Chains A and B, each alone.
Chain A
């Protein structure tokens, strides 16, 4: 359909690599000793460099090369990563990203400055190895290095992929004089030999003063399909001095079966061990094979499935009306297939929320640095899955909430110490499934909301009358009021009073809701409740007068028959539900339904967040899989309905917006109070 622009493919790939790189760098800030993280970061860099060069991003390749060279000392363990180094590395990552995405907006001066910083950090007063560091022998080896000893094993099906090992060996030969020995141990007898399999392995002695990177570059495009064992040749010829200061034992690698004191084991640096780790990881990577699909195609698929579900509902309705057993059987079969197809399609659109959380780590890191408030950032429930469109739409609200938490929630270090709290603040972001909803919470252990101040501000802005009786929860809702801010100082980050209302609007547009809970001195928790998907909901089909409507099942708490006592009590619009007073709304009068009401009215208790309302309807018809169709722009003035769906008979039914109906119910409930006052 569309021709793939190779540069575009590279940009996409690079974008994923950047995420991996950023994640690894941020983790490294927390666990500086984790060698795996260094390797992950290094691998990402290396791939960016390699494919960048291939796709003609020369500036990217050369800068990344410099970055990589400097970072190599971290990989070798000569330098311990610290916060300064991480910050510079992140800046370098951002610079590379700009080089790829919008090269015209930047200048090589910026890159040079970053590299200067980097060199300053990795080469403090020239070169001074850390005392007692396990791999301090390697620089000696580097000086004395005359080449590399390689052991190469390709996956047996490498030939099928069109790679030619001999070409790669030729490329290796360009680095310097090579002594190549083919290992034929695994070659089977001729009658068993599959000519498409590669049974050969190679030992190569490369006499060259090239860097390890140069060797990796040769194999960069087959590195997932091979094992490469790479040792400096100097190992066997190392000067005596190196042996004496060498660590006592390096058990891994081919030299491991030699006695510990053997010279070849002596100055063996980390690479063999590290390579082993990579190899052991690869099978997992392959098990999670993925296919990249354009988002629009998934959307189209979802639309088709939606139409199928509607057609299937009509078929089921027809089948229910007939006596033909075979038609009924087919209808049931189609129903089952349509349901599983729907679930699979929705599953294909599900993305773990962790991909989103990853982005915030950088945000927290930068904010914490800029504001001088040390913050621990803890995430949990990263594997909770949400519809991809929702993940995208959640990003902005969560950014606002996290900014607020750090800027307003977390106190500065002095106040924290004064309040006998740990001097490092904590921001937790967590996702969990709760029935058909996903809860995303942003929790801080800061000062908590200042209810008095919010109230004072609300009174000042004329939102409430002074002295009005309100619950704390209602007062906190003012935070979502447009233009409402209690911050005394407007900072670059927050305090302008825009933001929280945007958060609320975005979440409500996704048919979600927001709760805030706070404890003075202990922190604030903001909980977002979101539906699993935007495309299809489980609904309760009801009838009011002649019209049929859908109530989202996730909002329904219980259904009951309206008792005749409640029915008669026209004067009050409250129900006694097991001791709780629940306001109710007569949908017949709200919708101006024609005709006589049914004799036995039903009541549906629906909830949104913490509030409940009773909805009085004529009949509860049953559950309904509702494919959501948004209402036309021409109907944007309609508030009681959040959308529409298509019923089995092909007619349209409206989906009730429970949050709005609750507001309507509360409007009714407030009236008697005002009259009394």
Chain B
């Protein structure tokens, strides 16, 4: 995987706008996460509930000796709760909160693939017809003839 990143870098330099993303599904939506944010993708591990925490950060998990918060984006996006399945994964992200790098796990119902998206496909975020906060969306693009959301993780989690 490391190698593929190295191979792709010069390419990204030529076509400046091509963006490498990880495609993941939460509920009925497909999200494209900037692969620079993604540290690793792991199988679900037992989570520890944190009493008194905000609902979309309900628990912590142990990832390689670090205790990191586990975010449930379903809550944030107002989706119904769901049981985990064989496809459920934890995507470990490193995001910046007030300038400091912070590790956080995000529960994904399914992780599809690592791919590239082109800005040519970027669609303006519609003001209506969205059932959640437009602040959470960086932009919307197309992938396999489907609309996918590129979320603003810093906004969503802070």
Interface residues of A (CB under 8 A from B): 306-307, 310, 546-548, 590-592, 629, 631-635, 637-641, 644-646, 649-654
Contact = CB atoms under 8 A, between A and B. Distances in A.
Interface of B: 45-46, 48-54, 57, 60-62, 65-69, 71, 97-98, 100, 102-104, 157-158
Contacts of B97: 633-634
Given A310-B65, A632-B68, A634-B97, A654 B48 contact: yes
B51 A592 contact: yes
Contacts of A637: 52-54
A656 B57 CA distance: 18
B48 A634 contact: no
Nearest to B56: A634
B53 A635 contact: yes
A644 B45 contact: no
B48 A644 contact: yes
A634 B157 contact: yes
Contacts of A645: 67
Closest 4 CB pairs of A and B: A591-B51, A644-B67, A629-B67, A652-B48
A510 to B, nearest CB: 19
Contacts of A310: 65
Contacts of A639: 52
B102 A633 contact: yes
Contacts of B48: 547-548, 644, 651-654
Given A547-B48, A654-B48, A631 B98 contact: no
B51 A635 contact: no
12 contacts: A547-B49, A591-B51, A631-B60, A631-B67, A632-B103, A632-B104, A634-B71, A635-B57, A644-B48, A650-B62, A652-B48, A652-B61
A638 B62 contact: no
A592 B60 CA distance: 17
Tell me which of B45, B52, B71 has the highest count of chain A C-beta atoms within 10 A of its own C-beta: B52
Contact of A634 (B52, B61, B66, B158): B158
A645 B100 CA distance: 22
Contacts of B62: 646, 650-652
Contacts of A641: 50
A638 B48 CA distance: 14
Contacts of B57: 634-635
B65 A640 contact: no
A156 B66 CA distance: 54
Given A547-B48, A634-B71, 15 more contacts: A547-B51, A592-B51, A631-B60, A632-B60, A632-B67, A633-B97, A634-B157, A639-B52, A641-B50, A646-B62, A646-B65, A649-B46, A652-B61, A653-B48, A654-B60
Contacts of A652: 48, 60-62, 67
A629 B102 contact: no
A631 B48 CA distance: 12
Contacts of A649: 46
A624 to B, nearest CB: 14
B93 to A, nearest CB: 11
Contacts of B157: 634
A310 B65 CA distance: 8
Nearest to B49: A547
Given A632-B104, A650-B62, A640 B158 contact: no
A654 B62 CA distance: 11
Contact of A640 (B45, B51, B98, B103): B51
A449 B102 CA distance: 44
A210 B51 CA distance: 78
Contacts of A638: 50, 52-53
A638 B55 CA distance: 12
Nearest to A304: B65
Nearest to B57: A634
A546 B68 CA distance: 20
Nearest to B71: A634
* Most chain A CB neighbours (cut-off 10 Å) among B50, B57, B97: B50
Contact of A629 (B49, B66, B71): B66
Nearest to A636: B97
Contact of A633 (B49, B61, B67, B100): B100
A640 B53 CA distance: 10
A542 to B, nearest CB: 14
Contacts of B54: 637
A634 B100 CA distance: 11
Nearest to B158: A634
Most buried by B among A547, A629, A646, A652: A652
A250 B158 CA distance: 79
Contacts of B45: 650-651
B103 A651 contact: no
Given A632-B102, A632-B103, A652-B48, A307 B65 contact: yes
Contacts of A547: 48-49, 51
Counting chain A CB atoms within 10 Å of each CB, which of B48, B71, B100, B102 scores highest? B48
Contacts of A631: 60, 67, 69
Instruction: Choose among A592, A638, A650 the residue with the greatest number of B CB atoms under 10 Å from its CB.
Output: A638
A151 B10 CA distance: 73
The residue in B62, B66, B98 that gathers the most chain A C-beta atoms within 10 A of its C-beta is B62
A635 B50 contact: yes
A382 B104 CA distance: 43
A633 B51 CA distance: 16
Contacts of B100: 633
B67 A646 contact: yes
Given A629-B66, A646-B65, A652-B67, A635 B49 contact: no
A224 to B, nearest CB: 44
A547 B57 CA distance: 16
Contacts of B66: 629
Contact of B69 (A546, A548, A590, A632): A632
